[in-house]
Structure 1
Amino acid sequence: MDISVVIPAYNEEKYLERCLKSLQRQQFGGNYEVIVSDDSSTDGTAKLAEALADRVITHPKSTISQGRQIGADASKYEVIAFTDADTFIPPNWLSSLASSLEDPEAAGVHGNLMPLDGNRLENHFCRYVLPPYSKLMVKINRPSVPGANFAVRRDAFNKAGGFNVRLSTGEDVELCNRIKCFGRILFNPESVVYVSTRRIRKWGYMKTVSFHITNTLRLHAFGYGEMEYEPVR
């Protein structure tokens, strides 16, 4: 199994190097490529990406869903994995995603998120609360997919029509709610991605939790989420 990794990025020079270097250390038996979809960054994002990624595609500034779609359109392998620029990727990430997609009934898979710089409360929440929640949502066929840690089969992605490029957030959940018509969306707790807590630090717990709960419910009920999602850099 070969995998294309797509990373949307806008002004991420502070974080992107760590992400791309971690992807270079993947312990994966197949072929893989790393594509950075640069949203017309004004800092050193594109230069970093050109040095460390396989491909860099710079496009006019748009939504994150458009950035993911542009990267997916440029990819070449049978599986497309998505993560974010402010992440650290453990060496077993691609192999764990691929192991789940060996299931012929699987159209996609997502893993768990852990904080890069979290405190004890945040670490415990991500380790002990998120996995049971993710398992439950998969069981009731309402997968709550994190954009920083999921992969889909290309054929299912194309059949579903790709991302809704108008969405500024929730594009991951909305996409997988359409892809599940073509196969199961699985949850693999062994697939872990470490993410920045910068939004939590700016928004606080109440706003972060309430936003994501409300947005997820709206996506599952109506197929669209919040139209505004302020950048945090």
Structure 2
Amino acid sequence: MNVFSNPGWLKPYEYPFNSLDQVPQSVFNEINARLDERISRTPLVSIVIAAYNEEINLIRAIGTLSAIETKIPFDIIVINNNSSDRTQETMDRLHIQRLFQPIQGCGPARQLGQEHSTSQYILLADADCLYPKNWLDEMMKKLTQPGVVCVYGRYSFIAPPDIPRWQFFIHETLKDVMAEIRHVKRPYLNAYGISMGYVREAGLKAGYITHNTRGDDGRLCFDMMPYGRVVQMKSNSARVWTGPRTILQEGSLIHGLKTRIGKEIKRAFTYLFPHPPHDTKTSHN
């Protein structure tokens, strides 16, 4: 894992654009040329992305997904989740399957995506993340094992110029340790749409929440557990990379880390026991 710097493969996708008007057609041409070589009309797996106000980030995400190296047939389904910016225009310029979900929330958007998919498996990706070339293959190695219904991967933060990368590495290491603890009895707490996959038939049976509530991904994973095992994909080379905006919401990185450690200490005892059955469609976070 990268301790002192961001991985070099990210650089081609660090587009210096702030609006769609700044993006030259050549960027779309390059991405679409790769998509045309890779997208299958008879996919085994669909990469489903819910996008809300991601007109530039989506270009970066699809750019990395268009460079995936795999022999597994796949397609990409992007759902415009009632965006108020020019996300739809970005989608229309990319050679992907495009859907629109006016009901706000990742749950309704992802539900629409899995309903329109024709594949056997679903991989969830986020519109503001970057995906390494081996991500799909590494996820599918786990997901296609006998008895597995759901897989989740790990992720890292892209360090901005003013924050050393090693500080994020410390946070990620602690995060991975807690994921191992949660996985024993409550693996669904580690299942995030940033890097998650599942058997589509089980996903359709379980169904997403149909309202705008966080945790739609973990709830789906919880409801699919009667159909099979939940496993981890731990390959560091296949880690997904994302910006640090969520961890910096509480202020500095150090403050955010202290806040998260405090929350985990308070909840640590609960991780020793499985969560009792409950209705995930109506429960609150």
Q: How do 1:57-136 and structure 2 match up within 5 A? A: 57-117=99-159, 119-126=165-172, 128-136=173-181
Is residue 197 from structure 1 mapped to residue 239 from structure 2 by the alignment? no
Unaligned residue ranges in structure 2 (runs of 5+): 1-42
Kindly provide the CA deviation profile for residues 79-124 of structure 1, in whole angstroms up to 9, marking residues without a partner as x.
0010111000011110001100221110010000111236422222
Give the match's secondary structure for 2:113: helix
Greater shift in the superposed pair: 132-141 or 27-36: 132-141
Which residue matches 1:145? 191
Which residue matches 1:169? 214
Greater shift in the superposed pair: 101-110 or 135-144: 135-144
Unaligned residue ranges in structure 1 (runs of 5+): 227-233
Give the match's secondary structure for 2:71: coil
Greater shift in the superposed pair: 175-184 or 39-48: 39-48
Q: State the shift of 1:60 in Å.
A: 1.1
In the alignment, residue 68 of structure 1 is paired with which amino acid?
Answer: R
Aligned residue pairs: how many?
A: 224
Q: State the shift of 1:211 in Å.
A: 11
In the alignment, residue 231 of structure 2 is paired with which amino acid?
Answer: L
Kindly provide the CA deviation profile for residues 31-82 of structure 1, in whole angstroms up to 9, marking residues without a partner as x.
1111111012222211212222421112214112111111111111100010
The whole-number CA distance in structure 2 between the counterparts of 1:137 and 1:32 is 31
Supply the RMSD in Å over aligned alpha carbons.
Answer: 2.7
Shift in CA distance, 158/212, structure 1 to aligned 2, threshold 3 Å? farther
Q: State the shift of 1:28 in Å.
A: 1.2
Which residue matches 1:231? none
Shift in CA distance, 78/68, structure 1 to aligned 2, threshold 3 Å? same
Runs of 4+ in 1 over 4 A off after TM superposition: 210-217
**TM-score normalised to the size of structure 2?**
0.71
Flag the structure with higher strand content. 1
Residues 159 and 168, structure 2, Cα contact 8 Å, conserved in 1: no
Residues 170 and 225, structure 1, Cα contact 8 Å, conserved in 2: no
**TM-score normalised to the size of structure 1?**
0.85
Greater Cα radius of gyration, structure 1 or 2: 2
In the alignment, residue 140 of structure 1 is paired with which amino acid?
Answer: K
